[in-house]
Structure 1
């Protein structure tokens, strides 16, 4: 497996020399300064590659992500120019030798959390999704029509109790936390602009969004086949409908539907153990076995779930997912690919969403992407991989 590390370029507090010291060699990044729907120029791609490769034994091995314009998700207007731009960006990346593209099809928001600094028992902080706080946001702050029906009586009562004691700063912090998953330097939504954005999805149900996603795949995957690019969709995070918007990639049935729309190796999956692991119905190692040949990239992290639907980022070898079993499934697939003579036998992975530990705290890194917390995760995963490799040779 190829040890990789997500880097936000000039927006990142963590430097490439620091990343090199972790031992990871693959850099997972994107051109976050380019607006959605615009072409990524070859010159900009090469400039990013040159910055990464400067005497550090690093290389840009995965794009995360090449964003999909909201108009494509909504099926809104003349989409031909947007699809053409997306294909041209793919061609430019392929011309520069970058051939794995992670993307998502989540409406409006990327990953969503309600707490960016939930305390961890032995010190440090973690990302958390509180069902009660999300309910407080939707019902009492956003005042989304129909939101009450999406939450249990108990959660609604907890939400009412929280909002009753919340200060304006508490409310502002909650909004900031929910917006934190949006990548890059783009402006986040405030309450009014989020309501307006949600209005743009009125009448778009799960079937409509699926149809729009199927069109995206039909427009893009043949180009990926021509270019030798591996497209790999990231699961929804959290893996459930939020803000009244349907989600497309939350369980094994969803993944099977997506991969079946274009039955090609280039139509693949980013196996995110944290996103899938937050859904109680998902057996993540089993999902890895089921779709092993279409996994082109892996995010390895762990979560601990609560009965009400809340969850918190756990240490990489703790939480509800059996990480050694998951890693074993990926290593088995690598062995199968080697025996089949596939050039892409090794699967790139990155430690995802680490705890803020020690000097991470207050350092201002992107939420969920501290240095020491992810280094701890990488070291633990490295140990699991080494141990399983030794066992397989014994």
Structure 2
């Protein structure tokens, strides 16, 4: 297991590379060019700039999250081939810089969805929160305003320029079914996976977050059955998943540890985090510790260990603790605690395995 840490770039993150380097066990950053609009080619000079920044601290740039997929590709519009060609060229450039994994998603319009960015918890910390009843009755425009009205930090997947066209986007998706989205995803994979294979980069789709329909939009990477269907679309080790315990775990019917054991050879990258799920469908992001949430993080890590997992992993969203001012979900302190918790489990398993 190779531990990494998400970093949003110089002047775009409260966390520095110097701080990341001081977290024991972290080998690389998970990064992206967040100023590049979805669908555009990534410039080689900017890619190499991030590589040089990371290498000053002996950190690798093996994992990119995300090379965003343009909405025209998800919609299956005639213009999609232009954006897919740009995607292919970006894959080729990232390979030249040494990238090994690209995480992406295929969620229409919205990326991850929460109703509150700083929900106060009993211990005084704050965390990302999802209130199901509010989503069921909230206009999409109100949610967008709540998320993007955060001028200090860019929110990946919630780019203001794109979401300013919300009415047009919803109109475009009207009538697109789950099966239509599956077909458009298959088309995309048929184009990009051969390029990924030639460049030795593994594509790893991120599950929908949360794993159910939002505002009537189709969502398809939501459970074990659909992940199996996805992997069978293109049966290649370069067509994989970013198994995110928090995204999938928001639905209590999803057994994340079982998915790890089932799909281990197709998981090049993993997000591990915990969530507390309530009976009414609400959920809040907790510390990584098993006891603090609804997911058995200990068993999830054990599943990776049993499977001989050698891919990349990162602690996912953390709480905001110790008065840290940071991008929602992406402070230093709680994610660093998460690293140590995950590695503590892993190190214990390694010792037990050596004794066996």
Q: Same fold (TM over 0.5)?
A: yes
How do residues 153-302 of structure 1 correspond to structure 2 at under 5 angstroms? 175-177=145-147, 182-183=155-156, 186-187=159-160, 193-302=165-274
- Residue in 1 that maps onto 2:294: 320
8 Å CA contact 2:112–2:157 kept in 1: the answer is no
8 Å CA contact 1:285–1:329 kept in 2: the answer is yes
8 Å CA contact 2:212–2:219 kept in 1: the answer is yes
Residue number among 295, 317, 323 corresponding to 1:359 in the alignment:
323
Mapped to 2, the partners of 1:280 and 1:375 lie a distance apart of 26
Give me the TM-score of the superposition, normalised by structure 2. Answer: 0.93
- Residue in 2 that maps onto 1:167: none
1:303 aligns with 2:275: yes
CA apart distance, 1:188 = 6.0
CA apart distance, 1:380 = 1.0
- Residue in 2 that maps onto 1:49: 51
1:122 aligns with 2:123: yes
- Residue in 2 that maps onto 1:91: 92
- Residue in 2 that maps onto 1:27: 29
1:108 aligns with 2:120: no
Mapped to 2, the partners of 1:380 and 1:322 lie a distance apart of 13
How do residues 335-374 of structure 1 correspond to structure 2 at under 5 angstroms? 346-360=310-324, 363=325, 365-374=326-335
CA apart distance, 1:79 = 2.2
Mapped to 1, the partners of 2:341 and 2:19 lie a distance apart of 18
8 Å CA contact 1:72–1:216 kept in 2: the answer is yes
- Residue in 1 that maps onto 2:350: 389
Mapped to 2, the partners of 1:126 and 1:186 lie a distance apart of 21
RMSD: 1.9
Mapped to 2, the partners of 1:276 and 1:179 lie a distance apart of 27
CA apart distance, 1:179 = 7.8
Residue number among 364, 380, 383 corresponding to 2:341 in the alignment:
380
Which has a greater percent of helix? 1
8 Å CA contact 1:110–1:182 kept in 2: the answer is no
CA apart distance, 1:196 = 2.7
Mapped to 1, the partners of 2:38 and 2:206 lie a distance apart of 17
Mapped to 1, the partners of 2:64 and 2:171 lie a distance apart of 31
8 Å CA contact 2:148–2:159 kept in 1: the answer is no
Q: SS of the counterpart of 2:138?
A: helix
Q: Which runs of 5+ in 2 are unaligned?
A: none
8 Å CA contact 2:27–2:59 kept in 1: the answer is yes
CA apart distance, 1:52 = 1.1
- Residue in 2 that maps onto 1:337: none
8 Å CA contact 1:109–1:179 kept in 2: the answer is no
Q: SS of the counterpart of 2:117?
A: strand
8 Å CA contact 2:148–2:160 kept in 1: the answer is no
**The structure with more radius of gyration:** 1
Mapped to 2, the partners of 1:178 and 1:133 lie a distance apart of 18
CA apart distance, 1:37 = 1.0
Count residues with an aligned counterpart: 348
CA apart distance, 1:184 = 7.5
Q: Which runs of 5+ in 1 are unaligned?
A: 143-170, 335-344
8 Å CA contact 2:68–2:105 kept in 1: the answer is yes
Q: SS of the counterpart of 1:25?
A: strand
Q: Deviations over 1:89-125 (max 9, x none)?
A: 0011111110100000011111110011111222211
Q: Deviations over 1:146-202 (max 9, x none)?
A: xxxxxxxxxxxxxxxxxxxxxxxxx68x83238879417932677x74233211111
Change (3 A) 1:227 1:19: same
Mapped to 2, the partners of 1:381 and 1:113 lie a distance apart of 25
Give me the TM-score of the superposition, normalised by structure 1. Answer: 0.84
Mapped to 1, the partners of 2:128 and 2:246 lie a distance apart of 12
